[in-house]
Amino acid sequence: MSYAAPIFAPVRPDAQLPPVSVNLYSDTQTRPSPAMKAAMMEAELGDEQHGDDPTVHALCDRMAALLGKEAAVFLPSGTMCNQIAILTHCRPGDEILAHESAHIVGSEGGGPAALAGVSVRGLRGPRGLFDAETLRAAFREKRRNAPPQSLVEVEQTANFGGGVVWPQAQLDAVLAAAHEQGLATHMDGARLMNAVVAAGIPAAEMVAGCDSVWLDFTKGLGAPLGAVLCGAASFIDAAWQWKQRLGGSMRQAGLCAAGCLYALDHNIDRLAEDHANAAVLARGLAQLPGVTVEAPETNLVFFDVAATGMTADGFAKACRARGLMLSTMGRTRVRACTHLDVDRVGVEEGLRIMRAVLSAA
């Protein structure tokens, strides 16, 4: 049997390209440090699915306390956290309200419809955010021919919005409006701790109005695997059945949970360094001819190369040929992400490569 060229499977690295010297593609590219690996190797283990892995329990207890929730469950990925939360909060035919650029809308393979049988109504608003007025305008009258609205979802930070942190008053007003309407609230907290560090607001206070929330450990926190979903004890208990159904139950998961615990101890406060490096990167990009930069709030720097005459893909490809990895977010929009594996010297090298690419073009 013959198969067409792969469409969905990841493409292996081109052996003809030079090694990556600066990786600004994403904070998911981080590698566990030697100290994190050592903590993982020394972890006390059990069977997570059987309920006797002490390191997983330690992580979940700590996360529940950090986010001010009753309970937590350890999962392989943030996307699984989102999908399990949707499956637990919603029923087939329901409608979710979220920003039109939310991760659950365009970056999870149509999961809400494919898995939960729900639709997502995209709300508009600048930089990945919407306000309570916009949310209220999207509320449907309860009729038998209208989809029941069951969940409001927010993203912290707003990725496609440029790594923007929700103003706390705006976030609280949105969550309160949802509850007034009888809807549950869920936060995609992929970069929640970036928001906490940038805003100087305790995590539990920031997410107080969320019925469910998760934190990803594989981005700025530098762990190789894992995310933790938090909420009421009854919600987490129900989420466990979906964890089982989706294959998210794990065995000696304490090996990975130990890396997450190490990240909580060592990699939160240092996120401020990533934010500072992002500001340096943005200032340098603003000096490049034809490049328009969006001012970063955290570790994501978005810029447009339309005026250079290049496409985003063309620009990223030319940079990769010189050892720099970037991601693209549209025809001419490029994203650079600072993280613990790229220091100030790396940022300056990245700028040098981009300058050289534009000079050559």
Confidence label for 5 from pLDDT (cuts 50, 70 and 90):
low
Fold of 22-30+270-360: Aspartate Aminotransferase, domain 1 (3.90.1150)
Cα angle value 277/281/283 (rounded, 5°): 115
8-state DSSP, 201: -
pLDDT tens readout for residues 42-97: 999 999 999 999 999 999 999 999 999 999 999 999 999 999 999 999 999 999 99
Confidence label for 7 from pLDDT (cuts 50, 70 and 90):
confident
Q: How distant, in Å, are the alpha carbons of 256, 335, 341, 350 from that of 345?
A: 30, 19, 11, 9
What strand order describes the sheet that includes 184-188?
71-75, 227-231, 212-216, 184-188, 149-155, 95-99, 119-123
Spans of all domains in the chain: 22-30+270-360, 34-266
What is the number of other CB atoms lying within 10 angstroms of the CB of residue 171?
25
34-266 placed in CATH 3.40.640.10: yes
Calculate the CA 355 to chain-centre distance.
29
Confidence label for 287 from pLDDT (cuts 50, 70 and 90):
very high
Residue burial 152-168, b: 16+ Cβ < 10 Å; e: rest: bbbbbbbbbbbbbbbee
pTM of the model: 0.96
Whether residue 103 has pLDDT greater than 60: yes
Identify any residues that bridge with 154 across adjacent strands, giving them in sequence order.
187
pLDDT tens readout for residues 159-203: 999 999 999 999 999 999 999 999 999 999 999 999 999 999 999
